[in-house]
Every structure is written in structure tokens, then in C-alpha cells.
Amino acid sequence: MHPKGFLFDFDGVIVDSSESHGSAWESAFKELFQQQIAPFPRSHAGKSPMVIAEYYCSVIGEEKRTKELYELKDIHLDRYFKVPKLLPGVHEFTTYLSLHTFPYGIASNATKQFLKNSVHHLNLNFTTVFGVQDYVKPKPAPEAYITLAEALGFEPEDFKNIWVFEDSLTGTTAAKSAGMIPIGIATQYTDEELKKAGSHHVFPTLFEAYEYLMLIAESESKNK
């Protein structure tokens, strides 16, 4: 069955932003603590910047400065903005959705300014974008995807027919908790890990997901 709507995470689904975020964390941490930052743990992929800041501070016993690091990282992310790398299939997907007037948008745990900068510099066709400042409870809570779905005009009874593209276990949990259909993008985790977390299908990138969607659309067209 063709979904009614499509919700997208950003980092790891639309773009590879590891260098953008990594360099901002590193420079902010060095400015604040005058030392090198610890390696980023894969277990924190998709989590909110505040949770990540808390982790980095905990490594050196400076949890009390978590908010400082969080705020400084956001400043560095904007001041020294590095355009993230666009992942395959994004333009094909959004062109198809726009042409057929399917509602779609982004709900990310990234900060709003980073999302706006990235959408602008990459000339992405996304007009409805939510960042971590838009939620009381970021992912893995379902609020991000419920907020986006409601902004796109969906009612709760529609949620079971909405696809949510996620690369992280954190985001997959959020989509599942919202009563939507998580679709895994295997840029961070394996097929098995994403399916165990709740993904109904897993694709290498959005391009393969787009091809699969075209098969569904073609099948439904033939059966009309």
C-alpha cells in the first residue's frame, strides 16, 4: 500500500553530516576545556545535542558544564558551517513527492539553524522542517514525528500509513512509538540492528527506497 505521507530524519538520511558536526564538537570542546575531545560513540547516533554534550563532559568529569558545551557547539556549527554531503536519492524522492502532492518534511534532533543552513546551501526541496528546539522531548520520544505529522495536516488515525526514514535506533524508536512505519536507512547501523529496533524495511540509501516506492506505485496503477 502506498503511504499517505513521508517523514525524514536529516543526518544520515538526507546528508552525511559527520564532518560538519564532528568539527564543531571538536572545536567547541577545545575552546571550552583546552583539550582534545573523546571519540564519538556510535550508541549516541541520532540523540539530541544536549545528550551528546553531556556525554562528552562526563568523560572528563565536567557534567556541570554540559549546557555551556551544547551552546558553544551550536555557535561553532553556525560560525564555521561546513556544508554536509548530500546522500543519494534525495532529489529523486522529493521531486516525486512534490509532483504527486504527497505531504513530507523533516524532523531532526539537529539544531534548527543547522537544518536551515543545510537546506539552503544544498538547495533542498523541503519547506517543513523541525529541529531539536521545536520539541519538549526530542527523539527517542515520539514528539518530533507527531509534531511534524500534525503540521503536515495528518490526524492520528493517519499515522499508521506514514513512512518515517531513519538511520538511527533512537529515531526508529521515536517513529515506532508515534505509531508510524519506520523505514531504515543503513548508514549507521546494520539491517539486522534496524529491523530489531522496528524498521519494516531497510535500504542502503533513499535512492533504493525511492526505487521500491516506484514499484509500489506501478503495481497500484496496474491494479486500478
**pLDDT (average), residues 188-209:** 97
Domain ranges of the chain: 5-16+84-222, 18-79
**pLDDT (average), residues 177-205:** 97
Model pTM score: 0.91
Give the CATH H-level superfamily of domain 5-16+84-222.
Answer: HAD superfamily/HAD-like (3.40.50.1000)
pLDDT of residue 222: 75
pLDDT of residue 131: 96
pLDDT of residue 46: 80
pLDDT of residue 224: 65
**pLDDT (average), residues 102-114:** 95
- Per-residue pLDDT for 123 more than 70? yes
Residues in Cβ contact with 6 at an 8 Å cutoff, skipping those fewer than 6 apart: 93, 97, 102, 103, 104, 162, 163, 164, 165
Instruction: Tell me how far apart the alpha carbons of residues 132 and 1 are, in angstroms, rounded to a whole number.
Output: 31
- Per-residue pLDDT for 137 more than 80? yes
Characterize the bridge pairing of strands 15-16 and 85-86. Answer: antiparallel
Q: What is the DSSP letter of 104?
A: E
Distance, CA of 13 to chain centre: 6
- Per-residue pLDDT for 2 more than 90? no
